[in-house]
Structure 1
Amino acid sequence: MPVNLVPSIIAGVPLPVVLIDREERVNAMNAPASAMFGAAGTGRHYITVLRQPALLDCVEEALRLRQARRVRYLTTDMAREATYEVVASPLGTDGGQGVVVVFTDVTEREQMGQIRRDFVANVSHELKTPLTALLGFIETLQGPARDDAAARGRFLEIMGREAKRMSRLVSDLLSLSRVEAEERVRPDARVDVSALLRSSVQTLRPLAAESGVEMTLEGADIAVHVLGDSDQLTQVFHNLIENGLKYGGTGGSLRVVLTTSERELAFRGPGVRIDVIDRGEGFDPVHIPRLTERFYRVDSHRSREMGGTGLGLAIVKHIVNRHRGRFRIESTPGQGSTFSVMLPVA
């Protein structure tokens, strides 16, 4: 293929492509490449256009050795960190007509790999702590505390608590996996949000009494129907109310408020909003963007002491997404927090 046809061909390629001729000058760039390096780069020496040392070495070796070379290229693209896999391939039958450089965006693939690595590390850490405690107590009961009834009772109580914590973690992991698998499939059953809220509040009243929190439910007197999965929505309400009682109970009160709107801005149509409002310690809003990440905690020690797995809000987010809803968090240190779920009305 004549080299002079290549600029016309690369113009239709969606990936950034840079054509460097035998004189080591940029002969042509398509639109995506021009957006990365500037349209004024055509006609200049490739060193003044590509700049990054690893990228320059890749092109130089392809020109000199007349063999394809690969390299990773890291840059800030549109206010985000981007990673490209770059292939520099010689042109012409003998490789002496220059080099075509193709950039493939692998940012998402790299991020998913990092998420998987972080997930495995977090799960391993969350399981290792209770397992270490269990193994230590078992060794003690088999050895020095074999005949100590008081120590045996105390250790068995702690072992039971740690085992329950691991069980909750495994259950939440399975729940999160199921929710993520179904996230793209929107539920089509009509469910009464008011009834689900009344049931969740009634179920958690013993916990509220134990925590010394006055819990009230407002606006759930009439039926409000949405297209949803009743089990998953119950899990959302249960998680949010339980979190409010555990972490916001220092304020002594918890309000669960249901309101409807004929035109909810989030959906540009009728919607229902459920607010779980506590008057506890609150937290710095800087944490809000990360609260729905798996295993992210504002106070790791306190969360574990309360029996939290660090997955509750991640599950809530995915369930709300499946229902095409919105999830909002607001908090002010010393004034409490508000967790809000907005759902489109059926």
Structure 2
Amino acid sequence: MPDELPLRRYVSANLVALAPSGAALAILYGMGALAGRHALAALLGIALVTAILVHRYLGSLSRFARFVSELSGEQEPVMPRLRFAPATEELATAAATLAAGWRRQRASIDNLAASAQAIVDGLPDALIAVDRQRRIVRTNRAAVALLGASPPDRDLSTTLRHPELLAAIDSLLATADGNYVGPNQVAVDLVLSGTSERDVVAHARRLPRAAADGSLALIVLHDTTALRRAERMRADFVANASHELKTPIAGITGFIETLLGPARDDAAARERFLGIMAEQADRMRRLVDDLLMLSRIEQHEHARPDTPVDLGRVLESVRDLLQLKASSRKVAIELLIDPALPQAIGDADELTVVFQNLVDNALKYARPATTVKVAARPLGAERLAIAVS
């Protein structure tokens, strides 16, 4: 008897199978067509055969049930032998085919989910997906790095405690009579507190319909801290540059008004004022040159130079440019250039400005009757050294 079936069910199956034969024998016995002993012997024989067949058939059913149960596991079971139940064997084959297809589909779905998560994790901005109840369904690595780990199925307010953003998300998810009544996308400016405050723009958008994982709204947090800092620095720079330009312009304007008025015929005042005006004009020229250089550097900050530059000629041009200033301070400029000095890769104009500033500073702080030395020599196979002393 199969171990999986209780005795009561086994006996019931035998009685059901034996009932037609027993009824037929009883009718024959009642009609006198069959003797009592013969009827009893036939009934016992039929009962024995029926018991054997029912045992085999129920065994096949039991193996089929166990096979179907094992199909729901991770491993594929071995197909059982069901010779006494051909229809059950066909059902087992169909169930195995169905289970194999289901496993393939599940593997495909798992691969798609893993690929989707990999794509989401690859986004540079933090992303949070919430469901219809504003519960967090999915986050990416950038969100974990920015906000910390968020347990799933928790309300968004446990991670982002910003009433304006929460109200905006509620407006995205609000419905009336089964239809959405709010906008399908919003943007909110936030300041995230922590060890250092971060400026963030939260872009939230409602999906046309809920995703398979329940996601209905996506929130992308774009970090604008560097951009806002750059904007503040640029504003401060413009204000400072404007002040630096305004001061000498105001001075020159005042001197011109004085020369056109009370000091029209005062030669000494004219000479003194013209000298000051020349200094202020030179100051504005240097400031404009610095602004132009800064603009040029910003335009080419991501462009790597690839032009060979003869540093010997660059240093000679710097010396010739500053020779008059050095003579006025009674300071000599001496170049010590190694004949084996290799060419450098760079921008000749920018290198000229760099060495000009270095030598100019050396002249500014050098004592009279001294020498500013500029030495250039190779330093290994691919490097060189330039020193101003």
Cα deviation, 1:231-287, whole Å, max 9, x if unaligned, reads: 4433322222112222x3369664423232225xxxxxx11121224xxxxxxxxxx
Distance 1:117 1:139 in 2: 32
- Cα distance, 1:34 vs structure 2: 2.3
User: 2:139 and 2:348 mapped to 1: Cα distance?
Assistant: 54
Residue 9 of structure 1, CA deviation: 5.0
Q: How many angstroms apart in 1 are the aligned matches of 2:260 and 2:277?
A: 14
For the 8 Å contact 2:340–2:378, the answer to whether it is kept is no
In structure 2, the residue matched to 1:74 is 191
In the other structure, the counterpart of 1:261 is 379
- Kindly state the Cα deviation for residue 86 of structure 1 after the two structures are TM-superposed: 0.6
**Equivalent residue, structure 1, for 2:204:** 88
Asked if the contact 2:165–2:188 (Cα under 8 Å) also holds between the matched residues in 1, the reply is yes
Aligned to 1:29: 139
The residue type paired with residue 188 of structure 1 is: T
Secondary structure at 1:39 match in 2: coil
Letter in 2 for 1:165: R
RMSD across aligned positions (CA): 3.6
- Change over 3 Å in CA distance of 1:111–1:73 after alignment to 2: same
Structure showing the higher strand proportion among its residues: 1
- Secondary structure in 1 matching 2:344: strand
SS in 1 for 2:264: coil
Which structure would you say has the larger Rg? Answer: 2
Q: Give 1:130 shift.
A: 0.9
1:12 to 95, 104, 119: 119
Deviation at 1:7, TM superposition (A): 10
Deviation of 1:142 after TM superposition, in Å, equals 2.6
User: Which residue in the other structure is 1:271 paired with?
Assistant: 383
Tell me the TM-score normalised to structure 1 length.
0.62
Whole-angstrom distance in 2 between the partners of 1:81 and 1:211: 51
Please, which runs of 5 or more residues in structure 1 have no aligned partner? 264-269, 278-346
Task: Name the structure 2 match of 1:151.
Answer: 269
Q: Which amino acid aligns with 2:305?
A: R
Equivalent of 1:234, from 352, 362, 384? 352
Structure 1 residues 76, 256: CA separation in 2 closer, same or farther (over 3 Å shift)? farther
Cα distance in 1 for partners of 2:322, 2:340 equals 21
Task: Name the residue aligned to 1:327.
Answer: none
The structure-2 alpha-carbon separation of the partners of 1:6 and 1:61, relative to structure 1 and needing over 3 Å to count, comes to farther
Alignment CA distance shift 1:101-1:178 (3 Å): closer
Name the stretch that deviates more: 165-174 or 54-63. Answer: 54-63
1:145 Cα shift? 2.4
Query: Which of the pair has the greater relative contact order for Cα pairs under 8 Å at 6+ separation?
Result: 1
Q: Does 1:42 align with 2:152?
A: yes
Count of residues paired in the alignment: 263
What fraction of aligned residue pairs are identical, expressed as a percent? 38
Q: Could you tell me which of 315, 331, 342 is aligned with 1:224?
A: 342
Aligned to 1:309: none
Identify which range, 192-201 or 133-142, moves more after superposition. 192-201
CA deviations 1:291-337 (Å, max 9, x no partner) are: xxxxxxxxxxxxxxxxxxxxxxxxxxxxxxxxxxxxxxxxxxxxxxx
Q: Deviations over 1:133-171 (max 9, x none)?
A: 011112222333233332222212211221232233333
Q: TM-score, normalised by structure 2?
A: 0.56
